[in-house]
Structure 1
Amino acid sequence: MKRSIYDQDHEDFRSSVKAFIAKHITPNIERWDSEGFIDRDAWTAAGEAGLLGISVPGEYGGGGIPDFRFRTVQMEEFAAVGANSFNAGTSVQDDLVIPYLVDLGTHEQKQRWLPSLCDGTAIGAMAMTEPGAGSDLQGIRTTATRDGDDWVLQGSKIFITNGIAADVVIVLAKTTHGAGSRGMSLFLVPTTAPGFRRGRKLEKLGLRSNDTAELFFDDLRLPADSLLGHEGKGFVHVMERLPRERMSIAATAVAAAAAAFEWTRTYCFERHAFGQPIGNFQATRFTLAEIATDLEAGTSLLDRATVLLNAGELSAVDAAQAKYWLSDMHNKIVDRCLQLHGGYGYMLEYPIAKAYADARILPIYGGTNEIMKEIIGRDIAARTRSQ
């Protein structure tokens, strides 16, 4: 579907994204899925093509264009070829790691990491989730303790996207015991640091070629300048930036749902049963009509949220609504598209099968959709009480 939110610059950028995908991504997707890992060369090629760090100021190697629409163009084109794993990895890089550094990093931290994150020679990861603390970040147990001028990091993280490939990890840790959300801080951790240890590469239901790992910090000593942002403000820093992460998930959901619809629409008028295309049957047409309408409504919601994000006016509630509704919509659409494929939809040689597995994580990460509803519900209650 044509998006009125885009102008010619975005469409020109789309052409370059398509060229990059045709050369570096499409020929490798099946191999990456089989091996469970994406070649580092794909990251450096993305950097050379200007697809990483578009919002980063030019002095640090980026494109200097803080317009989220360029990110949504990428997501649409990655989804169109089923490159959901590569999209997941680059989304962590561009929508989590890089914005944290741009917003909170010192000049020295930015100089050290941003150019290599933008050119793809470095890969970043964000480490918040722990075995006993997912959406409840106040339950984390990883600690960072002062020892002279240094910090000593101790603990572990789980479900960390890019964890195996990462060169730098942003880690949320407790720095003041008993202070709750006011006692957490963020740290920049090079994966070459003594005491940093990667656990097993986790086997996932979907996003098979995107590496997800356990990480361990065994008395890992960090210099004082590894602190990212303000001491004791880590939880606040995360809360302030979660809307961007949730918008990335929402945009991925719309892009992947649209791709699933396009594959299915085509399939329904190529596949014959009872002497005619299955798209000629009323039941099929009704389902396609419902999916198309859901996509139009979902795209309008995403476009509104994108405009707010670009204007710096996206609230936590806006982001929660977009993330919850669009990721649920995505799962419903992919399920119905698979059903229209019949038995072929269950075969991994068809992109809809992998899309079905890839979709299931979206209502979970970035804060579960139950947490999104709690954010929205609390806002409703607060506004009602104030009337």
Structure 2
Amino acid sequence: MTELAPVLSAIWDQDKSWKRDTYVKSGGYSALKKALGMEPNDLVQMVKDSGLRGRGGAGFPTGMKWGFLPPDDGGPRYLVVNADESEPGTCKDIPLMMANPNVLIEGVAITSYAIGCNHAFIYLRGEVVHVYRRLLQAVREAYEAGDLGKNIHGSGFDLDVTVHAGAGAYICGEETALLDSLEGRRGQPRLKPPFPAVAGLYARPTVVNNVESVASVPAIVNNGVDWFTDMGTERSKGHGLFSLSGHVERPGQYEAPLGITLRELLEMAGGMRGGKKLKFWTPGGSSTPIFTDEHLDTPLDYESVGAAGSMLGTRALQIFDETTCVVRAVTRWTEFYKHESCGKCTPCREGTFWLTQILKRLEAGKGTDADIQQLLDTCDSIAGRSFCALGDGATSSIVSSVKLFREEYERHVTEGACPFDHAASALFDYSSEPTTEEAHA
């Protein structure tokens, strides 16, 4: 069985792990001091050589993204950390920032130095006020210790960090919509090109990286390229946080080398809840095509998951057992995408509305066989035709679920109702909860 690789999560179980003193006792901020003694270009090359790929879902090589910035023209350039974690099932960045915000701040400082940035922004989802407060506290401690501000540790490098709380919109996880929101405009995707590396925040060269991507940089600087490349697979290097949720005995964050399998992770997590059979699961959140128990031994790396017909995404492993109605689950996800569509383009704005209508009809047992085909036709009208990837994500679970469980869709039609007991698939038992009257008694 593949061993876990606690790197980002190494001090999560320590007392007051979010405090700077705790982080420093475990070697924190030593990578920043080491990086400040290196040439910026050497840092960029180190991250390129490590093979670190974006941990926000797309998997684009991080060092290559840094290298896309044009030559310095004397004007400002920016680093923006995408902390707008909103994908259903994705829950890795928020625990990371809660348990150890300092590893992110150290990563921000190193990345900023490498790309020549003197003002970095952390764009956080506005609803997570507790994380916002913790980040502000960590940034304040970093300023007081000289890890941020003017002439950091006598290096001559200046860096200011602004923590910005968004208004709460899934679309702001798309990097250009995030930049518009950060500039005070309505969060909607921009037309590309120009790409953020050329004209991003305030029309200046900008690097947008995910929380986990930036937080992975200090360990690479401290331990070296070979240490990082020894983990993972040939083309998917390093470690990552795998978020297990749903019908498992011990849901949570499991940090392991890329290439681990769900079978191995389930064994670590105590197996399926109540010993039931695995029915379907998402390898990278609700916007990725679903898998079944046939994919238990698929290595969880970018290439293997892609070859099997899905995407690794954010490694949000939502696990569903045999008690779950796949039509119901897909309907709930689609309702989310309908609600979160920014409305800028017609395929996504109108298409997600009609997908929801059809799915609700099918789930209630009032649909027809023609509705199943209409569902697929509508998905075909959205995928690849929307302004950003939200439309593609909204169709992924639908198309894959019909492909894998078409007979279940047809049962809803022939039986005139959902054939599943939804109470059996609930994660919690609400039957013992007191009634409103009893609670107020």
**TM-score when scaled to structure 1?**
0.31
Higher fraction of helix:
1
**TM-score when scaled to structure 2?**
0.28
Q: Based on CA coordinates, which of the two structures has the bigger radius of gyration? A: 2
